């Protein structure tokens, strides 16, 4: 059993600012941090830290950025045997502004990520097995993500599709992923409907299944998470924490969800742990450095349970 992520890998430049600038506006940052990132790499690290044997398939440039972008993955034991490098494209970069409330705005230069195509798919076809989970997103060519989904299903594996960044008309095949996990804004974009509150999110989760998903999950940030299965629609409030930085929280959710499902959890239990891990990741600055390990997530849940018993 393993989690395999086919996706993007970037180096993040994170600027702390008082507020996100509007069109034509310049704001001075009071702090700049450089951190490894990219939705695919983030999800692979999150899955690994939550206890899953994890392999990452992606592409970097042959530049200094590539070492920084892959450093934490390598350090944490993510299998990078099949990480490809492109001689003519730079490693992907993400420019991230984070305001005083922890909200963010992100611009991504995809660079070598756009070269994640046939080589990665050949590796995937050779690696993936029936009891594995594949995680895909939209920061590499969509044809690659769609083909990866097809390969996984041909081998009997399960697929989680994180439709980010949101696209109005994603390839039809991606809808047949076993679990589709947009956030609120992404759900609105791909479903072309308002997702203004929990009630609307419940409808959206059902509509993800109507499009072909085995289960639909809508992440609501500070409002929690909603998910729909053939057995019903469910809601879980967000974890009550002091938010410092929300960058990467959605990726933590995806990676943690895959990890716990890979470990044999039922979907409801996996959602619980993913929601908790994502919440805890917002209590520290940066993306990958803030991702929690399984032991700390489990310990937090135990401590909160003890507090409830004492009330």
Catalytic residue among 162, 178, 251, 262: 251
Please compute Rg for the chain using Cα positions. 18
Question: In 10 A of CB 166, how many CB atoms?
Answer: 16
Residue 3's beta-bridge partner residues? 54, 133
- Is 251 an active-site residue? yes
Q: What is the bridge-based pairing of β-strands 133-136 and 3-6?
A: parallel
Active site (catalytic) residues: 251
């Amino acid at each position: 059993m393993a989690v395999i992520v086919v996706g993007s890998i970037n180096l993040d430049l994170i600027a702390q600012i008082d507020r996100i600038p509007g069109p034509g506006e310049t704001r001075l940052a009071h702090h700049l941090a450089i951190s490894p990132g990219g939705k695919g790499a983030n999800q692979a690290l999150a899955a690994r830290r939550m206890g899953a044997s994890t392999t990452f398939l992606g592409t970097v440039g042959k530049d200094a950025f590539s070492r920084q972008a892959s450093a934490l993955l390598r350090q944490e034991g993510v299998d990078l045997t099949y990480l490809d490098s492109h001689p003519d494209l730079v490693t992907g970069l993400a420019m991230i502004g984070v305001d005083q409330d922890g909200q963010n705005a992100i611009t991504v230069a995809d660079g070598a990520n756009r070269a994640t195509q046939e080589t990665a798919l050949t590796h995937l076809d050779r690696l993936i097995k029936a009891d594995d989970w594949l995680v895909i997103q939209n920061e590499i060519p969509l044809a690659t993500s769609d083909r990866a989904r097809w390969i996984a299903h041909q081998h009997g594996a399960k697929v989680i599709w994180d439709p980010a960044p949101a696209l109005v008309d994603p390839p039809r095949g991606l809808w047949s992923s076993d679990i589709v996990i947009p956030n609120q804004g992404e759900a609105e974009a791909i479903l072309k409907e308002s997702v203004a509150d929990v009630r609307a999110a419940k409808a959206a989760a059902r509509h993800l299944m109507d499009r072909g998903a085995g289960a639909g999950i809508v992440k609501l940030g500070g409002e929690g998470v909603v998910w729909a299965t053939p057995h019903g629609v469910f809601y879980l409030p967000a974890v009550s924490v002091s938010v410092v930085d929300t960058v990467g929280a959605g990726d933590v959710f995806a990676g943690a969800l895959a990890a716990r499902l890979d470990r044999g959890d039922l979907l409801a239990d996996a959602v619980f742990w993913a929601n908790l891990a994502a919440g805890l990741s917002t209590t520290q600055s940066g993306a990958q450095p803030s991702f929690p390990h399984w032991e700390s997530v489990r310990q937090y849940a135990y401590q909160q349970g003890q507090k409830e018993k004492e009330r």
